[in-house]
Structure 1
Amino acid sequence: MITSPMKFATLAAFLTVPLILIAPQSAVAAGGGGGGGGGGGGDPYGSHYEAPTPSSPAQQQQGGKTTHKIKKPTKQSLFDDPIFREGYRTAYATIYEHNDYAAAIDQLHALGHDEHPNVANLIGYSYRKLGDYKQSQVWYERALKADPNHVLTWNYYGFWQIEQGNRDQAEFHLSRIAAICGTDCEEYRTLAAALEKPPGTSLVY
């Protein structure tokens, strides 16, 4: 027969096991966002993006020898850099709060990472708002080359297509968005709503 104190000890030990096994996890959101250009607002780093959690190089034992495997930095890891992150925030505010698109283009170039899809998309957006559709297209294409699934670029490039009268192309962009994030995401809903408007309607995005 188990005595009462032993029962309490056994119960206490049993209850603490799940707490030990469940390790806390932290998610680092980076995004790139409304800010990458999606939907004209929201997360300045863009929805549908997560920055990788910083980690030290993995160590492996091979024949008693310790080797280091170093992961190549990803584009999204740039948001772990406070200088890049703050510079991007500044450019984002210049665009969406001050509507100073020319200054924003300079600020984005100054980040030194034109190849990043969020950066390229915002440059494309800024050129579109300035009425330079040729340069805008160049940068939207550049963003999609860097990341073919960059849903925010498909969204903003879709508005570009509508403004240029290319509604069939905008429909294609809408289908790409649906394939990436479904029909309930903001990027799909805003572009679908724009396509429902009569041709020639002024778009706010």
Structure 2
Amino acid sequence: MRILNVCLTALAASAITFSSFAAGSDSTKPPTKTQTTKVCKKGQVWNKKRKKCVNPQSGMLSDDEVYTAARELAYDGQFDNALKVLAVAANPNDPRILNYKGFANRKAGRVAEGMSYYQAALKIDPDYILVRSYMGQAFISSGDVTSAKNQLAEIEKRGGSDTWAYASLAKAISGEATEY
């Protein structure tokens, strides 16, 4: 009986994790600062092997490393540097890469350009709720609250009502300032 309970608990935990991933969730916490934002300048990233800052180049970083470094730079307010890093992704159509291209452009004031990346990400993965949240926030910044509410409804429809993406967009719609 005890083994069955352990197995059921593990199965439930993995189902929750999978459903969060399937809904296109993203970490709700800002990334931990690394040498990329502590030491490196002008869009460089920290190379662990060389133990120094380097200019990102195609093939140098995996797309996971590109995403992680760009996300860190974007959260640090280095939007154009984040875009430099995202430009070297092997798969420029990875929805995470497109999402952060949208995010960095939107936060840099290029809302229309950011929207084009959000739309491209949603064509590939319509269940990526973080894109929907960021897109909704872009709509709000453009004065289109109705479209933002539509994105909030889409997040809920896709099982994301208990996520940071939903809560953040709901706050923005109600006029509260959100971190991102």
Q: TM class, shorter-chain normalised? A: 0.5 to 0.7
- RMSD (Å) for aligned C-alpha atoms: 3.1
Q: Kindly state the Cα deviation for residue 183 of structure 1 after the two structures are TM-superposed.
A: 2.3
User: In structure 1, what is the Cα distance between the partners aligned to 2:96 and 2:63?
Assistant: 12
Whether 1:164 aligns to 2:153 is no
Q: TM-score, normalised by structure 2?
A: 0.66
Q: Is the 8 A contact 2:168 2:178 kept in 1?
A: no
Larger Rg: 1
Contact 2:25 2:128 in 1 (8 A): no
Structure 1: how far apart are the matches of 2:160 and 2:70?
A: 29
Tell me, yes or no, if the aligned pair for 1:88 and 1:108 is still in contact at 8 Å. yes
Unaligned runs of 5+ in 1: 1-17, 44-81
Aligned to 1:178: 156
Corresponding position: 1:149 with 2:127: yes
Gaps of 5+ in 2: 33-60
Q: How far has the Cα of 1:146 moved from its partner?
A: 0.9
CA deviations over 1:145-201 (Å, ceiling 9, x no partner): 11111101000000000110001001100000001124222111111111111xxx7
Tell me the equivalent position of 1:195: 173
Q: Which residue of structure 1 lines up, in the alignment, with residue 86 of structure 2?
A: 108
CA–CA separation in structure 1 for the residues paired with 2:138 and 2:85:
22
TM-score of the superposition, structure 1-length normalised? 0.59
Q: Superposition pairs for residues 29-178 of structure 1, below 5 Å? A: 33-34=25-26, 41=30, 83-96=62-75, 98-178=76-156
Whole-angstrom CA distance in 1 between matches of 2:160 and 2:64: 28
* SS of residue matched to 2:158: helix
Q: Percent identity?
A: 25
Q: Distance in 2 between matches of 1:160 and 1:40?
A: 20
Aligned residue pairs, count: 140
* Change in 2 beyond 3 A, CA 1:182/1:100: closer
Is the 8 Å Cα contact of residues 124 and 135 (structure 1) preserved in structure 2?
Answer: yes
**Residues 152 and 182 of structure 1, relative CA distance in 2, 3 Å threshold:** closer
